């Protein structure tokens, strides 16, 4: 079975975006700081979004996934099952890279370990509250 790379944003509410990395366009986000090339506007936007929503433990990720798992994730996202999609990605990824642009590696890795968990969002509405 073949595998391919995907990238996007994930946070305590699950996968926010899931993009097939056909051209390795996001690879430079995951290189050491001295190896980085100029950022594209999409890369900048993802990093900015992750930084702006630190309370949701947002992370820019890149994951190598078997084709059948990627299809399952896309199906879950179509059903708005973002938490399940991230759980599936984390369980089945052959390799995961976490973007550290604008944050430390330790902080990004800690966030990745903590998500998904909607209860981490301080603005998350409690279902039992009237």
More confident residue, 23 or 93: 93
Strand pairing of 3-11 and 14-15? Answer: antiparallel
- Residue 129: the pLDDT is 45
More confident residue, 21 or 71: 71
- Residue 12: the pLDDT is 96
- In this prediction, residue 53 has a pLDDT band, given cuts at 50, 70 and 90, of confident
Mean pLDDT, residues 78-106 taken together: 91
Long-range contacts, 20-29 (Cβ 8 Å, 24+): 20/70, 21/62, 26/62, 26/99, 27/62, 29/60, 29/62, 29/99, 29/101
- Which pLDDT tens digit goes with each residue over 6-40? 999 999 999 999 988 876 655 555 544 444 444 55
- Residue 25: the pLDDT is 55
Asked if pLDDT for residue 93 goes beyond 70, the answer is yes
- Residue 23: the pLDDT is 66
């Amino acid at each position: 079975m073949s595998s391919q790379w995907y990238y996007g944003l994930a946070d305590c509410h699950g996968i926010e975006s899931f993009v097939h990395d056909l051209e390795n366009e996001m690879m430079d986000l995951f290189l050491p700081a001295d190896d980085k090339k100029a950022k594209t506007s999409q890369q900048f936007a993802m990093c900015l979004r992750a930084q702006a929503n630190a309370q949701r433990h947002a992370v820019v990720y890149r994951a190598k996934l078997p084709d059948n798992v990627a299809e399952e994730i896309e199906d879950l996202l179509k059903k708005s099952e973002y938490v399940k999609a991230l759980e599936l990605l984390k369980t089945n990824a052959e390799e995961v890279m976490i973007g550290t642009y604008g944050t430390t590696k330790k902080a990004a890795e800690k966030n990745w370990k903590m998500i998904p968990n909607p209860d981490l969002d301080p603005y998350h509405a409690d279902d039992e509250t009237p």
